Amino acid sequence: MKIKVVSRVLEANERIAEENRKLLKDKGVFVLNLMSAPGAGKTSLLIKTIELLKSRVAIGVIEGDITGTEDAERIGALRVPVVQINTGGACHLDANMINTVLQELPLDQIRLLFIENVGNLVCPAEFNVGEDMKVMILSVTEGEDKPLKYPLMFQESQVLLINKIDLLPYLDIDIERLVKNSLKVNPQLKIFTVSCKSGEGLSQWTDFLLSKINPV
Ligand code: MG
Ligand code: ZN
């Protein structure tokens, strides 16, 4: 019985995700769903990405957090349109939450929309929201066994950003093993190693993004 209920929730979510996808495609918006554990650096990475791209492409942001507006305020300071979703306890964003706030963004003027999911390595991967691409951010401090312990998020993502590589000299992590483990659960995964602090690897990531969209 319980399994039936869960599958119905996911089916309903999938229908709304499809609706979002169609609306955003009609508007010519390329959509990324950013997912990670809390503290992996989603917001910092988003800020760096916006700083590098905003003169070349019109950007919008949906910020998902359980509570609070701190991240949305940091993004808003960059003068890009941003909407905050507070899930009020829910540990992931779903398609309906996105559907509810889409009309609050000037979609006709946006070409690239970032959705920052709630920090959580489990259920965000189960809920499509209408994105073109799922991007996972993993901090090097999280260790090389994360892909084996949380395979779904690695399997669902098209891109993995290994963040905070400026910390590598201070850590025991074997980054080659991390990459190997990631590709073991998802051989298609496109992997970038980046540091928001030193800026290393960020231009490879933003060049990749630009190649995926039509700049205005
Ligand atoms: Mg954040
Ligand atoms: Zn959840």
- Give the list of residues 6+ apart from residue 134 with CB closer than 8 angstroms, or none: 32, 33, 35, 125, 156, 157, 158, 159
CB atoms within 10 A of CB 183: 15
Entry pTM: 0.94
- Ligand 2 centroid, distance to 90 Cα (angstroms): 6
Please answer whether residues 173 and 140 qualify as being in contact, where contact means their C-beta atoms are separated by less than 8 angstroms: yes
Domain locations in the chain as residue ranges: 2-213
Confidence check: pLDDT of 216 > 60: no
Cα separation, 67 vs 90, in Å, equals 10
> Quick check: 78 pLDDT over 90?
yes
Tell me the average pLDDT across 176-201: 98
Residue 152: pLDDT band with limits 50, 70, 90:
very high
Confidence of residue 214 (pLDDT cuts 50, 70, 90): low
The pLDDT value given to residue 5: 77
Per-residue pLDDT band at 70 (split at 50, 70, 90): very high
For residue range 98-135, list pLDDT tens digits in order: 999 999 999 999 999 999 999 999 999 999 999 999 99
Ligand with an atom nearest the CA of residue 126: 2
pLDDT, tens only, 11-25: 999 999 999 999 999
pLDDT score recorded for residue 136: 98
- Dist CA 181 CA 140 (whole Å): 13
Q: Which amino acid is at 86?
A: N
* Nearest ligand, measured from the Cα of 89: 2
Mean pLDDT of 163-173: 96
Residues paired with residue 86 on neighbouring β-strands, in sequence order: 65
- Say yes or no to pLDDT of 200 above 70: yes
**Centroid of ligand 1 to alpha carbon of 173 (angstroms):** 24
**Ligand index nearest the alpha carbon of residue 43:** 1
Tell which CATH classification among 3.40.50.1820, 3.40.50.300, 3.40.1400.10, 3.40.1360.10 matches the domain 2-213. Answer: 3.40.50.300
